[in-house]
Amino acid sequence: MQIIPSSSIPEVKLIRLKRHGDARGFLVETYSRRDLLAAGISAEFVQDNQSFSAAKGVVRGLHFQAPPHAQAKLLRVMRGAILDVAVDIRVGSPTFGRHVTAILSAEETSEIYIPEGFAHGFCTLQPGTEVLYKVSGYYAPSHEFGIRWDDPALDIDWPIDPASAILSDRDRRHPVLAELPAFFEYEAERVFGVAS
C-alpha cells in the first residue's frame, strides 16, 4: 500500500494498492488501519456503502454531511471507472474552494481518502460502474448537504457535456459554494499537528 498526498491539497490522499496475481486471479489488501495511521489517517470507519451506475456520464455529488455527523471517506472502484472530485469547503483553509481530481478504475486498484470538510462527487467514465466506500460517520439525512456539481466558481473540468450529464433531481438543486453556510472551519493544528 502506497499512500500519496495530493500535490494541491495534501489532506486528500491517493492510495495505490498492491495486486498479488497468479493464474487463479489476484488478491488485494484494500484496508490496513496500521498503514493508514502511519500516513496520518486516523479516521475510524463505521459504515460501508456501494453505488452502482448503469450508464457512462452519471454524476453523483457534490455531497457531504455536516457536523456533528461529518464523514471522512475511503473510496475505490470495484468495476468500471470514475473521475473522482473532492472540494475543500473548510472556511479559512488556504485551499478553500479548490478541488482535487483523480481517475479511479477497477483495473488500477487505487483508492482515494477524503477527510471531513470536503464535498465529494464523481462522474462515471464507463457503463456499469460500481463504487465502494467506507465512511467515518453514520448516514444522517438531516445533516446531508451538497454543492452544485457544475458551480462555475469551482472550475471543475468534468469529462462530460453538462447537457448530457445524468443526475438526480436533488443534485440538480444544490446551491453553489458561495451560497453555502460555513459548516466547517479550518483548524491548522488538526491538519498539521501544530498550533497556528
Catalytic position from the list 99, 113, 120, 133: 133
120 is catalytic: no
Catalytic position from the list 63, 99, 120, 174: 63
Can you spell out the DSSP letters for the chain?
-EEEE-SS-TTSEEEEPPEEEETTEEEE----HHHHHHTT------EEEEEEE-STTBEEEEEEE-TTS---EEEEEEESEEEEEEEE-EET-TTTT-EEEEEEETTTTEEEEE-TTEEEEEEESSSSEEEEEEESS---GGGEEE--TT-GGG----SS-GGG-B--HHHHTPPPGGGS---EE--HHHHHSS--
133 is catalytic: yes
For residue 26, the 8-state DSSP code is E
Residues taking part in catalysis: 63, 133
